[in-house]
A and B are shown apart, each in its own frame.
Chain A
């Protein structure tokens, strides 16, 4: 913030300050996420998780003081691009962290990794980055986009679903979601029908009527954020009683609104849930709600792990931020106490981790939350890692 105001005044002092800061005993992190508009809730959870992660490390990362420069990409790729320009050219950050949406990620990815700055994605994981465009400077603490939908497909297969009806918005992530589900599901069951809906569509009555007419025995939806809330509420009152499988739809950010409707049903599959039995997670759960006043979602968990990952990297090089090779080698080991328990990075730096079915249950205060169900995929790796030339 300081930096920025000085830009207005054309101040020289601040520039000198920034140049000096690069060598100082602190690590500079550009944290960018989507905070405005309806999807802003994802950014908020993610950032709160990241912040708690740093607080749990004593307010430092690898014993260095932390300076975070936070920005809102507004879900506009060109705005995200402008922020990244500032991070790289003006703030000269050591790490870029965050990024919720794939389209923003695709707009800024080459710039960040091309400048040999580490990019820690705490959510977005579009397929090119997992495949041919993979980079040594990129790490993900979340998942590759398709994995979630693949896990949902496996879940449906495990449940013996024979025909499924698919709904997703008509954009790249939506089409990818359908492809991801089908990749695991087809061969075991048939697709009774698929609909691509309008983005941010409020009313799903037409689609729900088609589900009823199609004669499927399960429904898969990928409708993130408000779209999913709309759909689930309308589905619940429609009289259709088919099991609902989903990706990025029934999660910690939407449960406050649709917990009633989904009680006893499936959440979107996950590698983490609030009741996960790891020591780190117990501490995380104990402090998070007290600190921020709501039940954390998986987005918060992903942010939390990013702090631990960066900490492990800086620790390995004794705070020498210019030793990028050392930091990269350290991160590849995933040698930190992850909130999700043990996991590994694949050759493309996406986690290879276990995926579980989730169930919507009520917690001790009667609020809807997610409990881990059966494991649907062990050490699940994304479908694109073979396209990534990186080996280590």
Chain B
């Protein structure tokens, strides 16, 4: 591994995240823990989205749905009096995977903009489904009594949650890295640039893409379970289409198809939102044009800016197809 600017950034950001709690305790700012937990949870979801979007070219406008499923899994178990722990994770992952398998199987019949719209359609259906769940508070959502407990670990504790999220984020990055550089990843990336060729080569691309879709959904569902632990609250608003849009923005802002891009994107978007919101109540008036400028001028996102110019066209999956 050469020590170029991008590697340095990855190391600095991860080390910074690892040390953040120490700083927060030193200056007595426990809030930082929670803020950065939220950033990392959304970054985790964005890493999941990136797996199919950045490498597979599948633009899902409905991945917020899996965050909601993960969060509702925790909420529903607590509502029915099941103590949190392994059941939380099993249900979040299981429900996320099952739903993704069914919906993915239908959605992947389409491609391009049709795929964007059909994933949106399913997310909207999920939205209305959760709204109609009166026992879980309907549109108001519900409070979750108590977090996930795994042995001695209690995720409703701020520091525990922070480090659990941090480790899961690193884990998800590692899994993505392994996946993308495996035979599996080659097929996914190949299918993105030329599906017919991959099919002709004898790869059942549909099955590969479905698998990628399910994995990415599961990562989002785990992020949802973490989000439920952070907020101890779940509501249908988690499935709103603008939330799915935000996930896409994180990925694109960070740099499409780069492994670490989504993390940078999540950090950038949430900080941007926060900082502008403190200057003016009309924060969207500024966030909108910033997004436009990024799209027009920083084509490969923040991570692309860190890449030496002559290398840019060669970055893995970084080209736009």
Give A contacts to B, CB under 8 Å: 1, 4-5, 7-8, 10, 12, 15, 19, 35-36, 70-72, 75-78, 81-82, 85-86, 88-90, 102-103, 106-107, 110, 126, 170-173, 175, 199
Which of B27, B30, B31, B137 is in CB contact (< 8 Å) with A172? B137
The interface residues of chain A lying within 8 Å CB-to-CB of B237 are: 75-78, 103
Q: Are A106 and B141 in contact (CB under 8 A)?
A: yes
Residue from A35, A102, A172 with most neighbouring chain B CB atoms (10 Å) = A172
Q: Are A173 and B139 in contact (CB under 8 A)?
A: yes
- Report if B278 contacts A (CB, 8 A): yes
Query: What CA separation (Å) do A81 and B131 show in the bound complex?
Result: 20
Q: Are A8 and B281 in contact (CB under 8 A)?
A: no
Query: What CA separation (Å) do A78 and B236 show in the bound complex?
Result: 11
The 10 closest A-B pairs by CB, nearest first: A171-B139, A90-B31, A89-B31, A172-B140, A1-B278, A103-B140, A15-B27, A107-B233, A172-B138, A89-B30
Q: Are A107 and B284 in contact (CB under 8 A)?
A: no
Give B contacts to A, CB under 8 Å: 23, 26-32, 34-35, 38, 131-132, 134, 137-143, 227, 231, 233, 235, 237-238, 271, 274-275, 277-279, 281, 283-284
Q: Are B31 and A86 in contact (CB under 8 A)?
A: yes
Query: What CA separation (Å) do A19 and B235 show in the bound complex?
Result: 34
Q: Are A4 and B29 in contact (CB under 8 A)?
A: no
A180 to chain B, nearest CB (A): 15
A324 to chain B, nearest CB (A): 21
Q: Are B238 and A107 in contact (CB under 8 A)?
A: no
Q: Are A82 and B27 in contact (CB under 8 A)?
A: no
Query: What CA separation (Å) do A102 and B34 show in the bound complex?
Result: 23
**Nearest-neighbor residue (CB-CB) of B30 within chain A:** A89
Query: What CA separation (Å) do A348 and B143 show in the bound complex?
Result: 21
Query: What CA separation (Å) do A264 and B140 show in the bound complex?
Result: 34
B56 to chain A, nearest CB (A): 28
Which of B35, B275, B281 is in CB contact (< 8 Å) with A5? B275
Q: Are B28 and A4 in contact (CB under 8 A)?
A: no
Query: What CA separation (Å) do A35 and B227 show in the bound complex?
Result: 24
Q: Are A171 and B138 in contact (CB under 8 A)?
A: yes
Q: Are B235 and A107 in contact (CB under 8 A)?
A: yes
The interface residues of chain B lying within 8 Å CB-to-CB of A89 are: 29-31, 34
B103 to chain A, nearest CB (A): 22
Known: A4-B275, A36-B283. 15 other contacts (CB 8 A): A1-B279, A7-B29, A15-B29, A75-B237, A78-B227, A78-B235, A82-B231, A89-B31, A103-B235, A106-B137, A106-B140, A106-B142, A107-B143, A107-B231, A175-B138
Q: Are B31 and A85 in contact (CB under 8 A)?
A: yes
The interface residues of chain B lying within 8 Å CB-to-CB of A19 are: 28
Query: What CA separation (Å) do A7 and B211 show in the bound complex?
Result: 40
Q: Are B139 and A172 in contact (CB under 8 A)?
A: yes
B106 to chain A, nearest CB (A): 24
Which of A4, A70, A103 is in CB contact (< 8 Å) with B141? A103
Q: Are A4 and B231 in contact (CB under 8 A)?
A: no
Q: Are B131 and A170 in contact (CB under 8 A)?
A: yes
Query: What CA separation (Å) do A19 and B32 show in the bound complex?
Result: 15
Query: What CA separation (Å) do A107 and B28 show in the bound complex?
Result: 25
Given A85-B34, A170-B132, A171-B138: A8 touches B275 (CB 8 Å cut-off): yes
The interface residues of chain A lying within 8 Å CB-to-CB of B131 are: 170-171, 199
B115 to chain A, nearest CB (A): 25
A293 to chain B, nearest CB (A): 16
A134 to chain B, nearest CB (A): 15
Q: Are B27 and A12 in contact (CB under 8 A)?
A: yes
The interface residues of chain A lying within 8 Å CB-to-CB of B31 are: 85-86, 88-90
Query: What CA separation (Å) do A70 and B134 show in the bound complex?
Result: 33
Pick 16 A–B contacts, CB within 8 A, sort by A.
A5-B278, A35-B281, A36-B284, A72-B283, A77-B235, A78-B227, A78-B237, A78-B238, A85-B34, A86-B31, A102-B140, A106-B142, A107-B235, A170-B138, A172-B134, A172-B137
